[in-house]
Structure 1
């Protein structure tokens, strides 16, 4: 494989790892905010209206940010009816075919997320609640993370083609 392709795979894999590690630490943010909510609500009787909603946004960020790393590390769900019985080459062929299905799905998701972000920006969309937060930051993060998942899927395809050719990246 040309060095430029190898550099692409290394760069995308590294970015996916960094974003995934940041996502892992969001669990502590969610626990901290929910703990703050429990203490202020039950101990000092001052309910904070934003805590649960902030945790919901953080959870959405958590699963979007973890998507690319999950793909890279093959931590995703795989229907294993006959996949494990295939040879390494057979697995690579099946992966190459299913990657196109994944790219189609992510492409549609990316197109919809861009449309949704455009709407949020055009209308200054806010979530209808007591806290009334803007939807633009979470939708921007959604677009960026779906783009990263597409880039990671292309990286996986390159690795799969290399495996089919009997070469490692």
Structure 2
């Protein structure tokens, strides 16, 4: 189904791009350690910046993790069920728990982001960085998670066998 391919493709591309942030913040940490312990010149900005980059990295990969079934599951009940029953329990879980949570997450993070942007909110560290980009990322992450949940439910509902073969990752070179 084209909508599944589009949603999965978006989260795959976002996941691959955002994974580069891990390299960036590791580089900043290494730079800061080098400056602090070898040159005796600690940076004022590295700690705050790496906190924000890690928050961005962590939050933005939720949809990507869901696409690859990397979230924690507790299958104590469903492991004894047949394929059809397991599939419908998963769909019910998405409808009862996942979608309401994702909607509240998206709605509240949008409000947080807009308030932060309007106030020009800054960090309170040695170097004051704007907070609103991270809060806007929270909203985008919530939307990505929400649409990936839609994709997962469509896969469950449209699957004849109850098992959906994972799609090949898109080539983003």
Structure 2-normalised TM-score? 0.88
Tell me, yes or no, if the aligned pair for 1:89 and 1:163 is still in contact at 8 Å: no
State the shift of 1:167 in Å: 9.9
Q: How many residues align?
A: 164
Residue of structure 2 in register with 1:158 after alignment = 154
CA-to-aligned-CA distance 1:106-165 (integer Å, 9 cap, x gap): 111111101101111111111112111001111111111110111110111111111268
Could you say what secondary structure the match of 2:159 adopts?
helix
Pairwise mapping of residues 113-152 of structure 1 onto structure 2 (< 5 A)?
113-152=109-148
1:36 aligns with 2:31: yes
CA-to-aligned-CA distance 1:35-83 (integer Å, 9 cap, x gap): 0000111111111111111111111111112100111111100012122
Unaligned runs of 5+ in 1: 1-5
Tell me, yes or no, if the aligned pair for 2:156 and 2:162 is still in contact at 8 Å: no
Could you say what secondary structure the match of 1:75 adopts?
coil
Tell me, yes or no, if the aligned pair for 2:113 and 2:135 is still in contact at 8 Å: yes
Measured on the aligned residues, the alpha-carbon RMSD in Å equals 1.8
Residue of structure 2 in register with 1:78 after alignment = 73
State the shift of 1:168 in Å: 6.7
CA distance in structure 2 between the partners assigned to 1:8 and 1:104 by the alignment: 21
Unaligned runs of 5+ in 2: 166-173
Tell me, yes or no, if the aligned pair for 1:89 and 1:164 is still in contact at 8 Å: no
Pairwise mapping of residues 96-115 of structure 1 onto structure 2 (< 5 A)?
96-100=91-95, 101-115=97-111
Structure 1 residues 37 and 167 mapped into 2: Cα distance closer, same or farther (>3 Å)?
A: closer
Q: Which one has a larger percent helix, Structure 1 or Structure 2?
A: 1
Structure 1-normalised TM-score? 0.90
Residue of structure 2 in register with 1:3 after alignment = none
Residue of structure 1 in register with 2:7 after alignment = 12
State the shift of 1:24 in Å: 2.3
CA distance in structure 2 between the partners assigned to 1:93 and 1:65 by the alignment: 28
